[in-house]
Amino acid sequence: MEGKLLLYSALTIYFFRCSFGRVIESPQYKVIHLESDFEIRQYRQVSWMSALVQGTASFEKSTQQGFHRLYQYIHGANSNSSRLMMTSPVTTTITASTHGLDRLVRYYLPVMYAKNPPLPNSELNVQFEKWTSNCLAVRRFSGFAKDDNINKEIDALMSSLSKYLPGSGAISKYTIAQYNSSHHPSGRLNEVWLDVSAFTAEGCQPL
């Protein structure tokens, strides 16, 4: 276990290759706690473009609708008419609100655009968002992330966390991270993310 932790604890960028062999840029983090079924990561500052979706009960439909707007931004619907490179993961954060469940779909901005990205066209209703350094508990799962399986993965992560972080069961929002295109049927990687910055963990300080 210690050997694995040392292997992963160096600052890391995830790179995943699409079917054409391109390297896909992903956020930087280091693993600061490792268990058999989850890990806790400390992320550096991360910049996103985000699209809020309300009024639908479906995780899958919300992600599709939000990413459709982000896709337009990536492919030139912005102040520079720039075409940005695809990155991973695409994330969907689910939060309880007065409207029911809000879903915020995010595109990770490449490092070259992290501080000063092209402005999105106003009709897209897409916002620039920056995360400060934070700590996430992460559980991996394969296949497609769907309405009928994400709750099982969330429950499994929260159950595992309860053994190590007392009080973490009170967390009210979560994120599903998807690393592969919908046209990539095999070898898929997804993750459940829970922000645990407010809880004590090895080397992970509250914000």
For 127-148, the DSSP string reads EEEEEPSEEEEEEEE-S---TT
Domain ranges of the chain: 29-195
Pick from 22, 173, 189, 11: which is nearest to 89 by CA?
Answer: 189
pLDDT digits over 141-169, tens only?
999 999 999 999 999 999 998 888 776 66
For 15-72, the pLDDT digits (tens) are: 333 434 457 899 999 998 899 999 999 998 999 999 999 888 899 999 999 999 999 9
Q: pTM score > 0.75 for this model?
A: yes
> Which CATH class name applies to 29-195?
alpha beta
Instruction: Please give the structure tokens belonging to residue 157.
Output: 């992560």
Exposure letters 136-168 (e unless 16+ CB within 10 A, then b): bbbbebeeebeeeebeebbeebbebbeebbeeb
Tens of pLDDT, residue by residue over 186-200, are 889 999 999 988 765
pLDDT over 50 (residue 3)? no
Instruction: Provide the 3-class DSSP secondary structure of residue 6.
Output: helix
3 backbone dihedrals φ, ψ, rounded to 5°: -60, -40
